[in-house]
Amino acid sequence: MQIYFMCKRQRYEITLPHPPTAQGISAAVKIRSDLITKAKWGVLTEQDISEARGYEVEDEYIITENSVLFQEIAQKYLKYLTCGEGSKNDYRKILQHHWMPYFALTPIIRIKTEDIEEVIFDRDFQTAKTLNNCLTPLRGVFDTALKSRDISENPTDNIKNRKVQVDIPDPFSRKEMNALLEWLDKNLDGENRFYYWYYELAFWTGCRPSEMIALRKSDIDWFNKTFRINKSRVRGVEKNVTKTKNVREIYLNDRSERALKELINFKNEYGYKSSYLMLCPETKEPFYNEKPPRLRLIEAMKGCLIRHRPAYNARHTYATMLLMDGVNPVFVANQLGHSISMLEKRYAKWIHGEQNKIEISKLNTSTGTS
């Protein structure tokens, strides 16, 4: 018998040592399916083809009672996954890059905890966060198999996430922020001047980049001097939820109000027609991600000789400025979209403002008694 298939523009013709009987045809179908899967995932080798040519019908690999493969359950998991397209694509890439080369054609019932631990050791994940992220879709695949009763226990239950070190925020000081904005103001002209007003708004509202690039003119309430954050834009796809899935109102001060007005004037001046408030000057289209603005702030940091920090830290700068100025932490938490407990956890160092310096000064000025 012969089998044929095409994969990645390559044609395969393989003669199998099976007679054209019902049993032989069943074995050929199984072999062809497995080879196509390996070719699809880029793990098909000459040895696989040689073994296929020499398979016996009675081979244990061909005739197995529980033959539901890992890759079949993985496809089912991705099909019914309820999350955004961006997250789904991330999980698909993780499965394809990290787990499929090892488990794609393995019956899922045969995969044990020690097999997964061996792969983790072999992959040598560089950070705890990377490993934890990669374990998420793997656990989902085995949870799917458990629900469909293809396995009786989940081998990932015994594999725990590694502890991730959580760094405290690293905001720009008010002096650094002003220097960066002055540099952008002086060095950007024409359509690039958009980025100056972008960062005026970022530093004075604390919005996440994904929320900034999803803003529309209709979100602004000029009468009450607020705008609504109820969506985000990630990898070119708008989500009708924020990162924390909470809608919030951002209150404007003089600088953020002016920045919004200038951004609208910018759109009108250059004839941008989209309903998005933020349009990339290079493409005249809504932002795919926050990379273009980030590159401008990197230029400003270099130009001002300011220590490099992520552009996201404009958000941290807004939060710490409010707290150091004695603004009510409940208001700050609402502006950022945090719970008060999360705010206290993240920004404890700044909540008491100058009071921390006063307290430590007591130690410096106290005198002992003999």
pLDDT band at residue 363, thresholds of 50, 70 and 90? low
Residue whose C-alpha is closest to residue 191's, from 255, 258, 289, 280: 280
String of b and e for 85-105 (b: at least 16 CB within 10 Å)? eebeebbbebbbebbbebbbb
Residue 192's pLDDT band (cuts 50, 70, 90): very high
**Residue 313 contacts by C-beta under 8 Å, 6 or more apart in sequence?**
169, 170, 171, 172
Domain spanning 174-314: CATH 1.10.443.10: yes
First to last CA, the chain: 102
What pTM, to 2 d.p., does this model score? 0.61
Instruction: For residue 242, give every residue at least 6 positions away whose Cβ sits within 8 Å of its Cβ, in sequence order, or none.
Output: 208, 211, 229, 230, 231, 232, 248, 337
Measuring CA to CA, which residue among 180, 166, 208, 200 is closest to residue 347? Answer: 166
Question: What is the reported pLDDT for 74?
Answer: 92
CATH architecture label of 70-158: Orthogonal Bundle (1.10)
226-229 and 220-221 strand pairing? antiparallel
| pLDDT tens, residue by residue, 86-141 | 778 889 999 999 999 888 888 898 899 999 999 998 888 888 889 999 999 999 99
Please state, for a pLDDT cut of 90, what percent of the chain lies above it: 42
- The 3-state DSSP class for residue 355 equals helix
